[in-house]
Amino acid sequence: MHPTDASRRNVRLLYAYWFMRDFQLWIPVWIVFLTIEKGFSLTQVTLAEGLFLVGVICLEVPTGAVADKWGRSRSMALGALCLGGAVLIFAFTESFALLVASFLLWSVAQTLMSGADMALLFDTLRAAGDDARYERVLGRGHALNWAAAGIATLLGGPVAALLDIRATIFLGAGTCLLTALLALALWEPPRKAAAAPRQHYLRSIRSAFGEAWHTADVRTVILLAGTVIAALEAVHYVIQPYLLDRGVEVGVWFSMLQAPMILAGTLGALAAARLQGRIGTLAILGAIPLIGAGAFGALAATPGLWAYAALPLLFALSSILQPVATGFVNRRIGSEQRATVLSIQGMTTALVMAALAPGVGFVTDRWGLPLAFAGAGAVALAALAAFGAPLAVRWRRPEQASATIAADA
């Protein structure tokens, strides 16, 4: 098959893969399932999530190296199967230990899939001489992620009310099998030959860390984007408690009020490439933490549902940032270590979230939602001060600005 035809086929399969992976009917009710039906506190739920993220931290880069060494499509398929297993365990959770076991298997699934899909996409487009479309295609892919989650959110509440919440979990496990089959159908594009011989597995991990760390802009963008994405996505843990706190019961309206957040994520992903073309990468990296902190501040200060619009805004900001940041990194690293280096950004997000998620749960249980919202906003501002300011200073130098423009062209 000609690389151009294979590339087009791969993009279509990736779109289907991303949609099916996130079409999980339990999305709008999983925290309700654990806290109301199973009796866990939000602190316990977010602590288990923190342990999940510790697993992600430990596995993110090694599984990225697995994808680089043994194939991105195989890694994605194995991840989808592990996700199905984790979802099934989740359905039968009766103790905190079993909940942790489910979440740890989930971390294996997450890390096998993350980075591998973006690396395969970039090399697919590069094989057809079309890598300039990376942000646009990935943005559409993220839009499909959001669309799948949105449809699942609209259906999940009514299905849970009609049957029960566990039924939505079983259906989610079934979609994971279809996702794995789609991954196995993907074409593995040829990779750009490295100047040095192919490295041993562990040595390739060390080399990827070295490449990311010693390339100043790559290091800074990974730290900035990884931390800000973690802060923005902390809102996911408190959406359902927020709605319950405002008197919204599980059912149609419970799903309907979560759907605009998914729509906002979809629109943000679709707008990412256009925004980058209009205002540039640096402006996006600087504006998103500021706007996100403002949205968290509104949620912290406003009673009732009057600040509800801030929730979809946070989803949109996160979905804009991901393709812009990974596109920046992709253009500054070699093909042989692409999935491994991209996994470092995922690991950064997981590292911050591993501390932030239990903190958000504990603060919500102890002091309430307003302080939890304020804490997440403070993390976004701290990331901007620590990493965004040095990045802006470097990019104002004429020689650095020229190099950046050339790399992004």
338 — pLDDT class (breaks 50, 70, 90): low
Helices 369-383/338-367 angle, 10° precision: 150
Q: Name the H helices within 92-133.
A: 96-113, 116-127
**What is the per-residue pLDDT for 180?**
95
CATH number at residue 333: 1.20.1250.20
Q: Around Cβ 334, how many Cβ atoms within 10 Å?
A: 16
> Do the Cβ atoms of 393 and 317 come closer than 8 Å?
no
Q: CA angle, 196 as apex, 195 and 198 as ends, to 5°? A: 120
Residue 339: pLDDT over 70: no
- The single-letter code of the amino acid at 378 is A
Upper half-sphere CA count for residue 73 (Cβ side, 13 Å): 16
- The single-letter code of the amino acid at 81 is L
Residue 51: pLDDT over 70: yes
In Å, the largest CA–CA distance within the chain is 62
Dihedral sign for Cα atoms in the order 73, 77, 80, 86:
negative
- Please state, for a pLDDT cut of 70, what percent of the chain lies above it: 86
If you average pLDDT over residues 225-229, what whole number do you get? 90
**What is the per-residue pLDDT for 394?**
66
Residue 241: pLDDT over 80: yes
**What is the per-residue pLDDT for 23?**
94
- Among the residue ranges 9-13, 210-214, 295-299, the one predicted with the least confidence is 210-214
Alpha-carbon distance 91 to 173, whole Å? 10
Residue 203: pLDDT over 80: no
Alpha-carbon distance 215 to 230, whole Å? 23
Which burial class, exposed, middle or buried, applies to 55 when counting CB atoms under 10 A from its CB (0-12, 13-18, 19+)? buried
Q: DSSP letter for 39, please.
A: -
For residue 316, what are its two tokens?
A: 């949109």
Structural domain harbouring 213: 3-187+204-408
Whether 194 is in a domain gets the answer: no
Q: How many domains does the chain have?
A: 1
> Do the Cβ atoms of 112 and 67 come closer than 8 Å?
yes
Q: Is 409 helix (H, G, I), strand (E, B) or coil?
A: coil
Residue 287: pLDDT over 50: yes
In 47-118, where do the E strands start and end? none
393 — pLDDT class (breaks 50, 70, 90): confident
**What is the per-residue pLDDT for 398?**
45
Question: How distant is the alpha carbon of residue 144 from its chain centre?
Answer: 13
Tokens 């043994």 sit on residue = 70
Whether 196 is in a domain gets the answer: no
Closest CA to 114 of 226, 199, 215: 226
**What is the per-residue pLDDT for 405?**
41
- Supply the Cα-derived Rg of the chain in whole angstroms: 20
Whether 165 is in a domain gets the answer: yes
If you average pLDDT over residues 317-339, what whole number do you get? 77
Residue 263: pLDDT over 70: yes
Whether 242 is in a domain gets the answer: yes
Q: CA angle, 357 as apex, 109 and 220 as ends, to 5°? A: 80
Whether 252 is in a domain gets the answer: yes
pLDDT tens profile 2-39:
667 788 898 999 999 999 999 999 988 888 889 888 88
End-to-end CA distance of the chain: 29
Whether 166 is in a domain gets the answer: yes
**What is the per-residue pLDDT for 221?**
86
If you average pLDDT over residues 176-191, what whole number do you get? 89
> Do the Cβ atoms of 388 and 224 come closer than 8 Å?
yes
**What is the per-residue pLDDT for 125?**
86
If you average pLDDT over residues 114-122, what whole number do you get? 83
Residue 286: pLDDT over 60: yes
Spatial CB neighbours of 381, under 8 Å, sequence gap ≥ 6: 289, 290, 293
Closest CA to 114 of 339, 334, 324: 339
CA distances from 189 to 8, 72, 232, 339, 362 (A): 12, 10, 34, 14, 46
**Of 37-46, 156-165, 219-228, 370-379, where does the model show the most confidence?**
370-379
**What is the per-residue pLDDT for 399?**
42
**Of 49-63, 214-228, 254-268, 300-314, where does the model show the most confidence?**
300-314
- Prediction pTM value: 0.69
pLDDT tens profile 62-87:
766 677 777 888 999 999 999 999 99
- Please state, for a pLDDT cut of 90, what percent of the chain lies above it: 28
Q: DSSP letter for 168, please.
A: H
**What is the per-residue pLDDT for 297?**
94
CA distances from 55 to 41, 92, 130, 198, 379 (A): 21, 21, 35, 27, 22
Torsions phi, psi for 124 (to 5 deg): -60, -50
Closest CA to 122 of 332, 348, 302: 332
Whether 227 is in a domain gets the answer: yes
Whether 214 is in a domain gets the answer: yes
Closest CA to 63 of 110, 20, 122: 110
Residue 284: pLDDT over 80: yes
